[in-house]
Amino acid sequence: MTDPTPKTTVFEYMSGLARELGAINLGQGFPEMEEPPELIAAAQRALAERSNQYPPMRGLPELRGAICDYYARTQGLDFAPDNVVVTSGGTEALAASLLALVRPGDEVVLVQPLYDAYLPLIEWAGGTAKFISLTPPDWSFPLADLAAAIGPKTRGIVLNTPNNPVGTMLGRGTLEAIGVLAQAHDLWVLCDEVWEGMVFDGTPHLSPLAVPALADRAIKIGSAGKIFSMTGWKVGWAVAAPTLAARIAGRHQFLTFTTATPLQWAVAGGFALPAQWHEHHLARYRAAKAQLVGGLEAAGFAVLPASGTWFVTLDLAASGLPADDLAVSERLVREAGVASIPVSAFYAQSPERGYLRLCFTKQPAVLDAALERLAAFRAAC
């Protein structure tokens, strides 16, 4: 077993370096754009007029209902509040789910590049991971590798769509094929969908819960931090069949017990906003993405296509740079004054070294300044 206490994450490291060096931080994924005033007003009203005491353990019924309505409206999913457990961010939903599902000795298949919380949580529960990897540069899903990775001790698979860091999404065909394997081997499927609301190219988001073979064996993780751009609020949830949801609630009960009551009310208020609000909110991010991608391409960088998340990926070799993401990101922050995240940090095994992640949810002037620095860096290479 690897050290169960992971080192400081690459995000902390890069943000720390950016602060120390006064670099522009396109590393860690948080928006530095106008925060939605409607959500702030809803939180202020909730603090003054609603409760500041413990809410029900599984979350305010009003919020759980609002989450169900949102998924019915946006993804055609039919859930009841009994399917939902509100947690302190998507992170706690992942923790509660993995602690509920993984038993000592269980094997879980993880798909690289992967979000950093999955592996330590599985190991804390006494499980071990088997790794498969998306295939660059289009990051296609390796179904044959998944089939080969499933063994007698395999109990589950963790998926992430849209994918952080590379922004690609799983389609129906892939999810149906995963459903066939999950049924044949009696596996659960934990799907991290925190980026579901941040899709910019019109690709419909599809949850494993929408695939009949997975409806009773999948868990969907969501986060208001991403949908409403309030990453510091840490309001998230897990959605699953009622028996699975009850098991997850059993872990949530002793992790945090509940999640900040006024922020739950504020998020419920956010879900009551009309669809046009979400379109308008997304439009600002879409413009920021177009600005960064357009500027990078004009400067000769090769940017890989991505449907969702707040990130774009640079293909280093195709950009005329060394395919060594650790070295390039270190030089970029120190010499050019722009922090990025090496995609190899999202691997536990056999990392891809040729890709860098950049976050675009910044003010236009900040993106312009970063582009100027990046262009000068590439021209000098």
Binding site for ligand PMP (CB under 6 A): 29, 89-91, 115, 160, 164, 192, 194, 223, 225, 231, 234, 236
Return the amino acid letter for 274: P
Look at residues 96, 33, 379 and name the one whose alpha carbon lies nearest to residue 253.
96
Q: From the CB of 296, what's the least distance to ligand PMP, in Å?
A: 21
Q: With respect to ligand PMP, which residue has the nearer C-beta, 91 or 329?
A: 91
Q: From the CB of 129, what's the least distance to ligand PMP, in Å?
A: 16
In whole angstroms, what is the distance from residue 316 CA to residue 181 CA?
35
CB contact at 8 A, 339 and 331: no
Q: Position of tokens 């589950």?
A: 156
Q: From the CB of 307, what's the least distance to ligand PMP, in Å?
A: 14
Return the amino acid letter for 364: P
Q: With respect to ligand PMP, which residue has the nearer C-beta, 107 or 192?
A: 192
Q: From the CB of 244, what's the least distance to ligand PMP, in Å?
A: 19
Q: With respect to ligand PMP, which residue has the nearer C-beta, 223 or 361?
A: 223
Per DSSP, the three-state class of 356 is strand
Q: With respect to ligand PMP, which residue has the nearer C-beta, 217 or 234?
A: 234
- Structural tokens at position 178: 């995963």
Handedness of CA 88, 57, 195, 182 (dihedral sign): positive
Q: With respect to ligand PMP, which residue has the nearer C-beta, 93 or 371?
A: 93
Per DSSP, the three-state class of 315 is strand
Q: What is the DSSP string of 72-106?
A: HHHH-----GGGEEEESHHHHHHHHHHHHH--TT-
Per DSSP, the three-state class of 57 is coil
Residue number, nearest CB to ligand PMP = 89
In order of 213, 240, 250, the CA distances from 216 in angstroms are 8, 7, 18
Q: From the CB of 309, what's the least distance to ligand PMP, in Å?
A: 7
Q: From the CB of 215, what's the least distance to ligand PMP, in Å?
A: 22
Q: With respect to ligand PMP, which residue has the nearer C-beta, 167 or 351?
A: 167
Q: From the CB of 247, what's the least distance to ligand PMP, in Å?
A: 20
Q: What angle do CA 187, 192, 197 make, to 5 degrees?
A: 140
Q: With respect to ligand PMP, which residue has the nearer C-beta, 115 or 265?
A: 115
Residue 372 region, left (φ>0) first, then alpha (ψ -120 to 50), else beta?
alpha
Q: With respect to ligand PMP, which residue has the nearer C-beta, 43 or 213?
A: 43
Q: From the CB of 324, what's the least distance to ligand PMP, in Å?
A: 24
Please count the helices (runs of H) and the strands (runs of E) in the chain: 13, 13
In whole angstroms, what is the distance from residue 361 CA to residue 292 CA?
9
Q: Position of tokens 């990101």?
A: 329
